[in-house]
Amino acid sequence: MAGHAARAVGRTAAFAVLGITALLLAGCTTDGPPRPTETPEPTEPTRAVPAAVAAPAPIAFAPIRGTLVEPGAAAHPSLGVKIDNHVDARPQVALNRADVVFEELVEGGITRYLSIWQSDVPDEIGPVRSIRPMDPDIITPFGGLIAYSGGQEQFVDMMMSTPLPNLVFDYDDTGLFYRADERPGPHDVILKAAEAVARYPELPPPPVLGAYGAADPLAAPRFAAQPTSRIDAVFSDARFPSWEWDGANGVWLRSQEGDPDFEASGDRVRATNVVTIRLSIDWSYGEVPRTVLDGGGEAWVSVGGRTAHGAWSKAGRESMLALTADDGSPLPLAPGTTWFELVPLEDGSVAFAP
């Protein structure tokens, strides 16, 4: 009996060991609870990497037109040219490509232009005529070059006394000028404009013409701008230009003595901004009038089919003409071409039609 009991206890113990072993082996299977693992080292949280940001495109603007241009495209001097406005000189060459045009009274009651090209210099410009006593005061602050056909010795000396290189048809032996066979003399002198500018790469661009705004810069109530469909200026009985607002194209269209004014391309002469100023005339040079651009006076800026009243001022020959609104702030221009009508106080007039 004792032997049977001992064997039974042995078998029970063996079964117990086998059961424990089975339980331990079962704990090693994937169906059981996971085994403890070592705690991983902490890591930095994953951060989103932004996509590469493109560098902003470089921009530049034309200093006396205010329009955007490719960088470096306006890194050259301006070219001022004395342009004929006799009836036999019309239509003028490349007048619409000028950045700025000044219309001024000359002898006989007619007018001439001092036109300035910088952002868009054409191959040829003309007809080129002689200099007048107010031209040094107009062109000096722009710097660059001045081209003309000649003039009275005293007026040529005035222009020669400025820092600007003078390109003069009467003295030129380099081929910058020529006479156009299809035009009557003396209204036939043409300047090779692009070649002229290319000869002076060391000269800097002109300073900024004025304060530029948006396409409709006079919309703010503080300018008290009035709707304008037409501008009528009178220089004399012989010259009375006008401008009509073309809202569809956003430009002023020019007429002279009641007839539409065209340039040689066949396009109507046009401007984005028309600046009309009243000033005195100095008659100390006999029959040749000198427009007095010292001091200041009344001014109007017409742009976007509106006209705002203000004042003009010019501190001296080297100073750019400044425009101020009636509230004392700068009178802004829209980017584009600008015509200055220098209307005499005596015997001249200006009117703005709504």
Residue-wise pLDDT for 249-301, tens only, equals 999 999 999 999 999 999 999 999 999 999 999 999 999 999 999 999 999 99
Q: Are 135 and 288 in contact (CB under 8 A)?
A: no
Q: Please give the mean pLDDT across all residues of the chain.
A: 89
More confident residue, 7 or 347: 347
What tokens were used for 161? 């006394």
Is the pLDDT at 51 greater than 80, yes or no? no
pLDDT recorded at residue 330: 97
pLDDT of 16 reads 34
CATH class entry, domain 60-353: alpha beta
Q: Which residues contact 327 (CB under 8 A, 6 or more apart)?
A: 222, 223
| Domain residue spans of the chain | 60-353
Question: Quick check: 322 pLDDT over 50?
Answer: yes
